[in-house]
Amino acid sequence: MDYCKAEKIFLRNTQYDEKWLQDRIEEDPTILGLGDLNIIQRERKQSSGGRIDFLFHDPENAIMYETEIMLGSTDESHIIRTIEYWDIERRRFPSKDHKAVIIAEDITSRFFNVISLMNRAIPIIAIQLNALKVSNNIVLNFTKVLDLYEPPEDEEDLGAETFDRSYWEHRSSKKSMTMMDEIIKLISEKYPNPKITYNKHHIAIGTQRQNFLWGHPRKTEGYCHLNIRTGSENADKAKALFDNIQISFNQRREDVFAFPIYMKEFSDNKDKISELLFLSIERFS
């Protein structure tokens, strides 16, 4: 294959209108990346007076997708219409699972944040359309930028089926397990003989009283994902340490932080990582 440079274009600025785009989707709904869907109806009339661009059905999973398309940037009316049509159709077919789908050429950061917040209460999928000009052809690429919200699982509630170290050595990489060993070594400097449990979904580490660290060594060499409980009184200190290390984190609860870490980050910031671990040890020992 020969390399060919692509040029991003916006359909709203060309002769290709929304009807043309709907025709392409109707020809092959799989281009949306939502699976092999059946089209229930295109331009389906709603009781509110509007028309939904597409009502799709996934017969295998009994899911209906209320789909709205917009050329250019999404806006308030686009979001409101999509949610309104989703609500109407889910009341029409209460036995089905329903998902609202927003498709636009540009989903701005402002509206992405709004949709993300709504996504926790309403099942919304956001798809960005990228139209590319390749030589004398147009390529349509649909990218899912927001999927259905899944609430974070509590590590303590995951299956407690225990395994041995060899299970994790097979499941992850050697360097990732080495980093977990180094983390455990740091913990041992403050709390000798920590409790280590090799579970199916994580490696749990803690004192004899309570676990405070859950590790997920990955297949990627020298990469782990960690969840740490610091205690609510230490949450601000933990945030300050994350900022100093310059590692992104997700605050799952008031006192539980999830973060990824690579071997280089760990080696370069071992003192700060130790401080973070010591917050938990002091709280739960």
Please report the DSSP string for 150-217 in residue order. Answer: -PPPPGGGS---B--HHHHHHHS-HHHHHHHHHHHHHHHHHSSS-EEEEBSS-EEEE-SS-EEEEEEE
CATH of the domain at 28: 3.40.1350.10
What total number of domains does the chain contain?
2
Which two three-digit tokens encode residue 285?
A: 């020992």
pLDDT at position 114 is: 83
Pair (218, 191) in one structural domain:
yes
Asked if residues 272 and 228 have their Cβ atoms less than 8 Å apart, the reply is: no
Q: Is the pTM of this model over 0.75?
A: no
Pair (139, 190) in one structural domain:
no
Q: Which of 146, 178, 211 corresponds to the end of one domain? A: 146
Report the 10 Å Cβ neighbour count for 218: 16
pLDDT at position 112 is: 80
In a domain, 1, yes or no: no
- CA-to-CA distance for 260 and 215, rounded, in angstroms? 10
Q: Which of 146, 166, 200 corresponds to the end of one domain? A: 146
Q: pLDDT averaged over consecutive 10-residue blocks of the chain (285 residues)?
A: 87 91 95 92 88 90 90 89 92 86 88 79 90 90 78 52 84 92 94 90 88 90 90 90 83 83 90 92 86
Structural domain containing residue 86: 6-146
Q: Which of 129, 164, 166, 162 is nearest to 144 (CA)?
A: 129
Pair (175, 117) in one structural domain:
no
Pair (194, 218) in one structural domain:
yes
Pair (181, 111) in one structural domain:
no
pLDDT at position 154 is: 54
Which two three-digit tokens encode residue 263?
A: 């071997």
